[in-house]
Structure 1
Amino acid sequence: MYDFTEPFRNPGGSPIRELFKYLGEPGMISLAGGHPASDLFDTDGLQRAAAQAWTQPARCLQYGPTDGLPELKDALAQLMQQRGVTVPADQLMVTTGSQQGFDLLLRVLVAPGDAVLTEQPAYPATLQALKMQQARIVTVPVDAQGLDVARLAAMLESGEAGRPKLLYTVPTFANPTGATLSLERRKALVELAVKHGFIIVEDEPYADLRFAGEALPSLLKVAQDIDGGRERVVYFGSLSKVVAPGIRIGWTVAPADIVRRCTVAKQTADLCSAPWMQAIAAAYLAQGALTEHLPRIAEQYRRKCEALCDALDAQLAGALQFQRPEGGMFVWARMDGVDSSELLKHAIAQKVLFVPGKAFYADHIDAAAFRLSFAAPGIGEIGEAAARLARAREALLG
C-alpha cells in the first residue's frame, strides 16, 4: 500500500526492547536491558542542578545552538581534559544521547554499500543503525582482551575487509561482552587506522564504571601520541549510564570538518538537544557532582557483579562459561549445547529475563551465548535470578 524506502520495507526493531513487554509481569526479574540502577540516580544533586539551571528560565525554554549550550560544551571539555584529552570547541558537539551522534556520523560519512567494520558480538543498536544506512557490515571477532586486532590486520592486508570507512568499537567494558581492549591493542588499532585510512568510532559510555583493575587511556588519548592518529578517531561520550538516561545527553569529539557536517545534519534532525536538559547537565558537572557520585555507583555495581557471578558459579557450575568483568554493566555467558533463544522461553516462564546472543551478531551467530546485566536488579534479586535461570535450563533439557 505504501512505497517505503528500502531499509524500512521490512525493518527489525530492537531485540532488547522487544523484551520490555514482559517487565510489567508480577515477580519478573530482568537481567536483560542495560538500564542503570534507578536507586543510584543522584536525585538530590540533579535537583540542585535543576534549580541552578532554572535561574535562567528563558535560556532553558528557548531554542539553543545546534552544537550545544556553550556552558555544557565547556563542562564536557573539562571532563575530557580530566581524561587526558584537550578538545577545542569546534571539535565537540552535544547530541541527544550518543546514539544520535552515531546516526549523524553515518549520515555524513557512510553511503549505501560502504564497508563498516564492527566488533562481533556488537551493540544491537549499532547493527540496526548500520542496516538502516545500508552499509556493508564486516565483522571482526573479539576475545577476552576485546577486539582481535591481529585478526583485523590480517583482514585488512588480505582485502577481506574491503576498504572500510569506519570501525565501531566499545573498547572499555564492551556491550555485550564486558571485555576491555588492552593497551597494546589500542595502540595497534590506531596505527592500523592511520595505515589503512579508516576512522575508529570509539563509543565509551561505561569507562567510568570501573570497579577493579587499572584504568586505561581512551583510544582518543592513545591517538594523540601516534602521528596522524587524532584525525582517525571519533569519540562518543554519554551521561546516560553515569547520571541518568532520561536527560538524553551525549557528546561527540571529532575533527572539526566532521563536527561541522554533523551539526548541519543535526539541524535537520532536531534543531538542538533540549536546552533545559543541557543546562541541568552543565550545572551538575560544574558543581563536581558527577565526580563525587561515581564512586558510589562503581561500588554498588562491584557488589552486584560479584553477587551475579558467585550465584552463577553456585547454580550453574560446569554448565555455564563466563568471564568476570572489571567494570561496566554486563556479563557475557555461554551455555554449551543450549540455544539461548529457546532457553529464554523457559526463563520467561520462570520469571527471569536475559538477552539471547543472536541479538548481537551480524553473521556467524553463536546461539549458545547470551548477555546478563547486573546493574538494575537489587542484590537480593540477583541470587534468585540465577536460581531461576538454572531451573529454566533444567526445563529446557527435560
Structure 2
Amino acid sequence: MSPTNVGGIGLVAEEVHIGKQAPEPLTLEGIRARRAKAGKLDAPTASYSDSDMFKAPQFPDLLSPESAARKPCVLKQAAKHLKKPGLVSLGGGLPSAENFPIERLSMQVPSPAGGFSHTDNLKEVTIGKHDVRDHQGEGVLDLSIALNYGQSIGSAQLLRWVTEHTELVHDPPYADWRCALTIGSTGSLEAAYRMFGDRQRGDGILTEEYSFSTALETAAPLGLRVFGVAMDEQGLLPDKMDELLSAGGARRPRVLYTVPSGQNPTGATQSEQRRRGVYAVCQKHDVFIFEDEPYYFLQMQPYQKGASGSTTGTTTTKPNGGESTTNGDADVEAFLRTLVPSLLSLDTDGRVMRHDSFSKVVVPGARVGWVTASEQVIERYIRHAECCSQGPSGFSQAVLYKLLDEEWGHAGYLRWLAHVRDEYAARRDAILGACEKYLPGRWFLGRRRRRGCLYLWLKVDHTRHPHAASKSLLALEEEIFDSCIDKGVLSCRGSWFAAEYDRPLSGLFFRTTYAAASEAQMAVAIERFGDAVRGSFGI
C-alpha cells in the first residue's frame, strides 16, 4: 500500500466577480412611511436638530430586538456634566482615588531603536497615582483616572490612540465610523452576535466551513444557526456564498463572520480581489460582516523551501537570531504597503464591524481590543457594554497607553508589528522545514504559499487508509489523535472547527501551531505526528 498524502488543501480557485448592488434608494413612499413611524415632530422654539435625527438607521432589520430595546445608561450619561468648572459631584459613585492602595506601577519595555531586544536597551517606565495633577503638561493619564470607573467606550486616552491607528492603517471610506474599546475580540463578538442575532427570529451566521471553534461555541447557546461556506487556499469562495444565500428555503444568514487574514484554523489569507468578491456578495444579499482580524499584521512572504532565514519586510530575521532593523517613516509605510487591504478599508456601505485585538501581537492577558463600525452600530455596542462589561480593565488600559502612546508611538508600534511578524515567519519556516524532513514528498503537500497566521492545517488522505470503507472520518480522526497523544504530541482535531456539526466532514484535517514551541520541539512534534499517521495506516 502506498503512503498517505499529508498536506494543505492547496487549491487556487478562480476569482469570482459579482457586481455590486447599490442600496435601495429612498422613495417618496419611503419618506411617508418613515414619518408615519416617527410620529409628530415636536420642535419648539430654537430646538436642537441635525440630519441624523431624520435619516434612516443603518441595517435596522438586522438588529435584534434585544439590541433595539437597549437604552442609554442614565448614570453614564450624567458623567458628561463632570467637565463643568467648579461642579461638586454628589452624583456618580466614583470612589476617591486617595483610597486606592496602589501609588505607582513600573515596567520595563524594549525600545524600537534597539530592535526590540528583550535583554538589551530596556527602558523603565512608570505611571503614578497623581501624575496628571502633579506634573501638569507631562501626561494625560494616571492611576487616579485609569483605575476609577470609566465609560464603556474605554478611556479617552487609549481610544484616541486606537482611532488614530485605525485611520492610519485602514482609512474607512465613509465619514461616520467610530471605534470603541473592548474586553478582547471574544467579548466583542459575543456582544455583536447578540446585537445582530435572535433565536426567536431563527437568525443564522455565515462563516468558513472550518471556523474558529470559540466563535462557533459562542453562537451555539445563543440559538444562532451556523452555515459553513466552502473554501480554498484563499479562504471563502464568493460564488459558493452567493449560491447559499440565493438558495432560499430556511431563513438565510443575516451576518457573515470571517477571519480574512491567517484564518483560524486553516491559515488561509484572502487576497484583495477575494475580499472584494466577498464584500460584493454581502452587498447583493444585504449581509452584515463581522471582520475578526487578530492576525492581520502577521501577513508574511510565501515560504521558500529550504530557506535558512526569512526576509519578510522591514526587518530581516537571521539564522543566528540577530536583527538588522532600519528605522524611519519610510520603513513603516513600506510595511503597511505589504498588507492586504482590510474589509473595513473597502467598506463603502458601513456594513463591516471590524474586531481588533492586542492579544496575538502584544499580550493576550491584557484582554483589550477594539471594534470599528458606523456610528449607529457603535452606539448600539456601547449600550450593550454599559450593562454587561462596562469596558476593559483600567490596569490594562493604563499599561497599553503608556507603552503604545507615550513610549512607542504609532511608528514604534508598527515597527513592533513588523518585528513580531518576522519572529513568527521564522517559526513558520522551521515547522515547514520539519514537515519536509519528516513528512517528505508523497506525505506532505504543504501550503508553500502560506502567507501568515499561527497555524498549519494538515490534511490526511483518508481514502488511502486500509479501513476507509469501514471507519468513519471521525473514527479515523480520533484514532490518529489518540495515537498522537500516546506518542507525546498534541494537535487539534479538524472536526472541532467544523462550522456545521450535523454535516459530514469534507476531509480529515489536523491543526497544528508554531506559536510557542521551539524549533527543536517542533521538529520532534512533527516527527511524532508523522509516526502516528503512519501507524494508523499500517506503514
5+ residue gaps, structure 2, are 1-114, 132-141, 303-337, 466-475
Q: What residue number does 2:415 align with?
A: 292
Give the counterpart of 1:323 among 447, 452, 468.
447
How many residues matched? 353
Give the counterpart of 2:486 among 340, 349, 367.
349
Secondary structure (helix, strand or coil) at the match of 2:208 reads strand
- The change in CA–CA distance for 1:335 and 1:41 in structure 2 (over 3 A counts) is farther
- The change in CA–CA distance for 1:331 and 1:84 in structure 2 (over 3 A counts) is same
Q: Deviation string for 1:328-385 (max 9, x for gaps)?
A: 1111110112633321211111111110100100333245101111111111211111
CA RMSD of aligned residues (A): 2.4
- The change in CA–CA distance for 1:328 and 1:143 in structure 2 (over 3 A counts) is same
Which amino acid is the alignment partner of residue 294 of structure 1?
L
Q: What residue number does 1:370 align with?
A: 510
Give the counterpart of 1:111 among 189, 198, 203.
198
Any residues of structure 2 matched to 1:242-261 within 5 Å, and which?
242-261=361-380
Q: Which has the higher helix share?
A: 1
Give the counterpart of 2:527 among 382, 387, 391.
387
Contact 2:262 2:453 in 1 (8 A): yes
Contact 1:320 1:336 in 2 (8 A): no
Distance 2:211 2:370 in 1: 21
Q: Could you tell me the percent identity over the aligned residues?
A: 27
Kindly state the Cα deviation for residue 396 of structure 1 after the two structures are TM-superposed.
Answer: 2.7
TM-score (norm 2): 0.62
Query: Does residue 51 of the first structure (1) align with residue 113 of the second (2)?
Result: no
- The change in CA–CA distance for 1:299 and 1:90 in structure 2 (over 3 A counts) is closer
Contact 1:114 1:165 in 2 (8 A): yes
Query: Does residue 91 of the first structure (1) align with residue 178 of the second (2)?
Result: yes
Distance 2:370 2:123 in 1: 23
Q: What residue number does 1:78 align with?
A: 164
Q: What residue number does 1:303 align with?
A: 426
Distance 2:293 2:182 in 1: 14
Which amino acid is the alignment partner of residue 272 of structure 1?
G
Which piece of structure 1 moves more, 307-316 or 79-88?
Answer: 79-88
Which amino acid is the alignment partner of residue 379 of structure 2?
R
Any residues of structure 2 matched to 1:1-398 within 5 Å, and which?
51-52=126-127, 55=131, 56-86=142-172, 91-112=178-199, 113-159=202-248, 162-212=251-301, 214-224=338-348, 228=349, 231-286=350-405, 287-288=408-409, 289-317=412-440, 318-324=442-448, 325-337=450-462, 339-363=476-500, 364-366=504-506, 368-398=508-538
Kindly state the Cα deviation for residue 42 of structure 1 after the two structures are TM-superposed.
Answer: 8.2
The structure having more radius of gyration, on CA atoms, is: 2
Distance 1:393 1:333 in 2: 11
5+ residue gaps, structure 1, are 1-39
Kindly state the Cα deviation for residue 68 of structure 1 after the two structures are TM-superposed.
Answer: 0.6
Distance 1:341 1:322 in 2: 22
Secondary structure (helix, strand or coil) at the match of 2:195 reads helix
Which amino acid is the alignment partner of residue 331 of structure 1?
L
TM-score (norm 1): 0.82
- The change in CA–CA distance for 1:89 and 1:380 in structure 2 (over 3 A counts) is farther
- The change in CA–CA distance for 1:44 and 1:276 in structure 2 (over 3 A counts) is farther
